Structure 1
């Protein structure tokens, strides 16, 4: 350490350190008012601390130890937010809140082994009774976060890569006929929603008539409607404690499309415009300026219970029901996929094949009557 006298009477204490990456020497300094034994000792401590922090911030392939799970989460989430869509980030943040409830936030990440995570995921499945899909999404989020940890030398390897989860065999085994509503089920549910409020009934009917995803329909504005065509160019985003807004992209690239609206769908749009002439979104309620998905799905679960429907009933079932009706009308599969914005979707194929097979069986039985 050496000292420089400044023109204003103060003293600048300097120290050199070598950058191990370049081999070059650099300087750090602190300025004090007096040059005494006490201030020199304090200056040396401050200089050493500065050098330590600088060297600590530079990575040379050495693993950083003592990194806690919460520290990793707090560092990773802001960078992840810049890389993905708003709803993708929101979902990841929500999943990590659950993880932080289950695993102590001050857990050292280098102590989190594949075996520990395997037991954790199996606990979520078989003790907390979470669905396969939910656990799979939590695993995916942790996988991306731990990849970040490896890239920044907080871990030597990603423990998720060696995790083995015993997923439930029965999950995801719903039959194609359970993916969509039959005529009487559709009629009962739409009546139920209209009794709650015209806006809810119209929205559900519109989903059925168009095959749009919830976010695509909820994000529609008057500017998106051109005669009997709807331009699908975005999706509604509603994050916690934030205003709803339209994101200028859809779930997939194939989702960016133009959809032909049947007459009843156009009538529904005009009814909404008449009831809510000054609202930004076409679909809203008396209490909110958008159509709340959580509220709507809660109502649909009530309808499911009331009408003793064994299928999963939420906003998405109207989209599948739309596919089933088009299949009944004999519309080719590739045309349906293009219409609903699916480049390739297994569920759409299963519904289509189920409905067409059912129609063929009906034809076979009728042939005997000739």
Structure 2
């Protein structure tokens, strides 16, 4: 610190510090009435506080993990859908078993994150996918800390999850159960159509199978999104913690989800019939009206749709677990069997990540190759 006497008789105290971004030396100052020992001590404290204020956004490695989570979670909720951020608190319970809230974030390393993986999956009972999602959530949080200059690197990026030996066979079996073949779809639809009270459920199941839409995208379809030949998928329905009558159409899952889906003749028949049924029950349909609605005039909830599928599963003693999403995977499987290029399938179903599409695509291709060999052997 140094001091300079001013023309007005006062004294200006200066101190230097290095600004982290540019690494340039800068200075702060304060003007006091005298250069006495007491004034100098006061200047030292004031200048130190001012430097700390300048640097507080650069040096936060002493931040606690619970403080980081609180700050990050507010930011995260502003950038993702409710269905995404509502899962985080439950994941944090698993993370906090290994990384307590009072842990300094500078001390979080690969070993701690690896321990989370081991407790959840390697030596635990939780699934590989859920463990991956939890690790990814932690990685997103630490990436935020790195961007804010709170830490210098993200240790989660270096942690890999090694699948168990039994995982490959389990995943192969799960992949078989992820989608339905054409015969299975026909059996299910024929059974659902046996009851008039399930007619809407049958239309929805078949439409999902023919288009590959996510259920939320189907719920959000409005009259104005259908031009007679194709549908514009431009949103999803968000009704977390809300009643269906209070549901809100929000932006789609990602930018790739915003798309136009060309319709087959049967898919167009379904839409035209459902719209006609709605007109008969509710009167003339406005452009903003949702298409797949229940007798109450609101979109059919996912819970109601899946509840019927679960009953059908029991009634048919079906081996595969039925849900809305199985029809989306079945659509990918159907297009794979028809030799539609992978990129075209991804664009149609709105996949941003090729892994999901590719896993089904490759699985169907392998099965097709095996069938070829079986047919050749039978000659």
TM-score by length of 2: 0.69
Matched pairs, number: 337
Q: Distance in 2 between matches of 1:130 and 1:122?
A: 10
Are the aligned partners of 2:233 and 2:258 in contact in 1 as well (CA < 8 Å)? yes
2:274 matches 1:268 = yes
Task: Give runs of aligned pairs for residues 1-370 of structure 1, distance below 5 A.
Answer: 18=15, 20=17, 21=19, 23-25=26-28, 52=49, 55-56=52-53, 58-59=55-56, 62-65=59-62, 67-82=63-78, 84-86=79-81, 89-90=84-85, 93-94=88-89, 96-99=91-94, 102=97, 104-126=100-122, 129-169=125-165, 170=167, 171-174=170-173, 177-183=176-182, 185-190=184-189, 191-192=191-192, 197-240=198-241, 243-249=246-252, 251-253=254-256, 256-261=259-264, 262=266, 263-266=268-271, 267-272=273-278, 274-275=280-281, 280-286=289-295, 289-297=298-306, 299-301=308-310, 303-326=312-335, 330=338, 332-333=340-341, 336=345, 338-341=347-350, 344=354, 345-350=357-362, 352-353=364-365, 356-357=368-369, 360=372
Q: Deviations over 1:13-59 (max 9, x none)?
A: xx978573463335699xxxxxxxxxxxxxx8xx9699748725624
Q: Which runs of 5+ in 2 are unaligned?
A: 1-11, 20-24, 33-41
Q: Distance in 2 between matches of 1:131 and 1:239?
A: 25
Q: Which runs of 5+ in 1 are unaligned?
A: 1-14, 30-43
Q: Distance in 2 between matches of 1:289 and 1:26?
A: 65
Q: What SS is found at the alignment partner of 1:181?
A: coil
Q: Deviations over 1:50-93 (max 9, x none)?
A: 9748725624854531x2222111111233344x4425752663
**Post-superposition shift, 1:226?**
0.9
- The equivalent of 1:6 in structure 2 is none
TM-score by length of 1: 0.70
CA-atom RMSD in angstroms: 4.3
Q: What SS is found at the alignment partner of 2:173?
A: coil
